[in-house]
């Protein structure tokens, strides 16, 4: 436990107020980015369908999305380091290497570990933001304690509730939970277009119409109540004054700082 706690503390230093910047040197790279985000969008739609099913627990619905993120993280890690990405990350944390490959390995692994735990950690929020620029894109993953504001959707899970209700009240409570989950499913299905708009097809969309884009996704739980926000995020054309040549960690950017301020309430970032 102490080793894991130290790992999370060290990883939090890597994650906090940082983003990953990945070059987009050609249309093949754009297609790869589009494929990853379309897969994420498809998994989110599948999750929304499961949310609307009254016979399935929320954990199963979230598992679909987590599996897709796991595949994306592992794909990126193997691209960076091969099969020994955990050893690369551990060496970086021990101070045995100090390079962008080690830093990114830690970033991706810590994000995945925290995503795995998000259904068991009450009051913690997860934020994912992707911004597209002419020659690169950035990915920011943050974890915080607080409230999601904006026009977020909220729904309740009876399996996470600590209630002692009579049979009549329990039946009504379950029905209200199912209704809130169906509303959440409609919200996700309607707003998933913002993910697709971020990465327009390079084979059918002129460059000037696809060189900028972005979305932000925030989800969290407080007790039995889950909250989600999904919306567009406008990239700042003046954010970078250099060309993207290799992947690396960069400051989170003014767009993310502003979104955190506008969309979160009393947020304390833990990573």
Residues 167-222 pLDDT 10s = 667 778 888 888 998 999 999 999 999 999 999 999 999 999 999 999 999 988 88
Quick one: pLDDT at residue 219? 87
Highest-scoring range by mean pLDDT, 58-72, 94-108, 135-149: 135-149
Whole-number pLDDT of residue 258: 94
Count: domains in the chain: 1
**Is the pLDDT assigned to residue 166 strictly greater than 70?**
no
Q: Distance between CA 269 and CA 124 in Å, rounded?
A: 9
Chain segment 51-89, per-residue pLDDT in tens = 888 777 777 777 777 777 777 778 878 887 888 888 888
C-alpha distances (whole Å) from 261 to each of 28, 149, 207, 247, 254 are 35, 10, 31, 27, 11
Q: Which two tokens stand for residue 32?
A: 């790869």
Which residues constitute the domain of residue 216? 2-269
In sequence order, the β-bridge partners of residue 129 are 140, 216
- Taking residues 149-159, what's their average pLDDT? 83
What residue has token string 């002419």? 134
**Contact of 107 with 249, CB cutoff 8 Å:** yes
CB burial readout 18-53, b (16+ within 10 A) else e: bbbbbebeeeebbeebbebbeebbebbbebbebbbe
**Whole-number mean pLDDT of the chain?**
85
Distance between CA 146 and CA 130 in Å, rounded? 22
């Amino acid at each position: 436990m102490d080793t894991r706690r130290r790992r999370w503390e060290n990883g939090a230093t890597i994650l906090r107020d940082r983003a990953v910047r990945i070059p987009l040197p050609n249309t093949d790279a754009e297609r790869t980015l589009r494929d990853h985000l379309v897969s994420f969008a498809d998994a989110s739609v599948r999750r929304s369908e499961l949310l609307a099913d009254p016979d399935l627990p929320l954990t199963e619905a979230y598992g679909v999305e987590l599996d897709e993120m796991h595949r994306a993280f592992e794909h990126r890690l193997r691209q960076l380091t091969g099969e020994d990405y955990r050893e690369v990350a551990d060496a970086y944390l021990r101070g045995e290497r100090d390079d962008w490959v080690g830093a990114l390995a830690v970033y991706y692994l810590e994000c995945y570990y925290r995503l795995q735990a998000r259904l068991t950690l009450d009051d913690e929020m997860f934020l994912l933001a992707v911004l597209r620029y002419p020659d690169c894109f950035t990915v920011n993953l943050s974890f915080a304690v607080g409230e999601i504001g904006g026009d977020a959707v909220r729904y309740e899970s009876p399996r996470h509730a600590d209630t002692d209700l009579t049979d009549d009240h329990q039946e009504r409570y379950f029905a209200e939970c199912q209704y809130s989950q169906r509303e959440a499913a409609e919200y996700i299905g309607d707003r998933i277009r913002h993910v697709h708009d971020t990465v327009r097809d390079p084979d059918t969309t002129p460059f000037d119409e696809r060189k900028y884009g972005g979305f932000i996704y925030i989800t969290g739980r407080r007790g039995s109540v889950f909250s989600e926000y999904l919306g567009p995020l406008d990239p700042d054309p003046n954010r970078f004054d250099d060309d993207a040549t290799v992947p690396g960690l960069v400051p989170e950017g003014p767009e993310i700082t502003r979104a955190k301020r506008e969309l979160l309430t009393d947020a304390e970032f833990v990573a």
